[in-house]
Amino acid sequence: MRHTLPIAPQFYVTAPQPCPYLDGRMERKLFTALQGDHSEQLNNSLSKQGFRRSQNVLYRPSCAECSACLSARIRVADFEPSRSQKRAMRKNRGLNREATSPWATEEQYALFRAYLDERHADGGMADMDIFEFAAMIEETPVRSRVIEYATRTDGERRLRAVCLTDVLDDGLSMVYSFYDPAMAADSLGTYVILDHIDIAREAGLPYVYLGYWVAGSSKMGYKARFSSLEVYRGGEWQDIGDPESYTADTHPLSTDPIAEQVARISLPDTRPTGSIKGS
């Protein structure tokens, strides 16, 4: 006898806290635990519905009066680099890429601290110590890689950028990336995304997931500069179109009630096979 049993995770909502992207706003997240034998299926399914992974949690914005945060991904087959992106590729062609298991190192943490201190000193990760950093990198129940970018001069290797990347069934999800702030003029952050597009293309994966694009946020504006960008809006993926047409205005009806949001989430099925002996 064959059964079809849906994975049935429990969903929760965080308490409101200050938004890291838009001043004066409060953010709230819908989240569920990522654990058990079917973590890969759940991560694949919910990533396609606008969720993101952080360690063993999947989350999606669910702010009461704001819908500015939209999950974004690049269609690899249709992507065409701009002139400035081509310059970024030329500037960084001396970097060596190395993909490793999700294991944190002191060298990574030193680069991470330099990046935060220079670019996000007032952000939510500013006080993260080396143990919390190791948890961010290593606590993953799904197929993840740490992709390092380094220069080598006179035999000496120097780490320049790092990206924690999940391998989904339809693409690469860039969970978190950071780079040497001294190389900001070389557009190193842009280069890491461009290289992930190349990796996905070589692997036959159709998408690169970038996390959230936030209308009205200068911190997130760079994502809209990539061609073939889609955003998850109104329960479906659609071409971003003109980024200037999006609004960050608040409205009391911006977000549906939590029960309705959860009811519309599509969950993967597990299909165990059992047998019953007949008489």
Does residue 160 contact residue 150 with C-beta atoms inside 8 Å?
yes
| Residues near 138 by beta carbon (within 8 Å), at least 6 away in sequence | 102, 103, 104
Residue 277 lies in a domain: no
Determine the Cα–Cα distance for residues 210 and 52; give it in Å rounded to an integer. Answer: 10
Model confidence pLDDT, tens digit, residues 131-148: 999 999 999 999 999 999
The amino acid occupying position 26 is M
Determine the Cα–Cα distance for residues 56 and 258; give it in Å rounded to an integer. Answer: 21
In the structure encoding, which two tokens stand for residue 144, read together? 């993840």
- Give Cα 239 to chain centroid, integer Å: 18
- What is the structure's pLDDT at 233? 93
- What is the structure's pLDDT at 150? 97
Residue 75 lies in a domain: yes
Residue 275 lies in a domain: no
Q: Of 134, 194, 191, 184, give the one whose Cα is nearest residue 164.
A: 134
- pTM equals 0.91
Q: How far separated are the first and last CA of the chain, in Å rounded? A: 14
Residue 279 lies in a domain: no
CATH code assigned at 85? 3.40.630.30
Residue 68 lies in a domain: yes
- What is the structure's pLDDT at 122? 65
Show the low-confidence residues of the chain (pLDDT under 50). 1-5, 273-279
- What is the structure's pLDDT at 232? 96
Full residue range of the structural domain in which residue 265 is found: 5-270
- What is the structure's pLDDT at 279? 33
Determine the Cα–Cα distance for residues 198 and 76; give it in Å rounded to an integer. Answer: 8
- What is the structure's pLDDT at 274? 47
Secondary structure string (H, E, C) spanning the chain = CECCEECCCCEEECCCEECCCCCCCEECEEEEECCCCCHHHHHHHHHCCCCEEECCEEEEECCCCCCCEEEEEEEHHHCCCCHHHHHHHHHCCCCEEEEECCCCCHHHHHHHHHHHHHHCCCCCCCCCCHHHHHHHHHCCCCCEEEEEEEEEECCEEEEEEEEEEEECCCEEEEEEEEECHHHHHHCHHHHHHHHHHHHHHHHCCCEEEEEEEECCCCCCHHHHHCCCEEEEECCEEEECCCHHHCCCCCCCCCCCCHHHHHHCCCCCEECCECCCCCC
Number of structural domains in the chain: 1
Residue 106 lies in a domain: yes
Q: Looking at the DSSP assignment, which residues form a beta bridge with residue 226? A: none
Residue 276 lies in a domain: no
- What is the structure's pLDDT at 121? 58
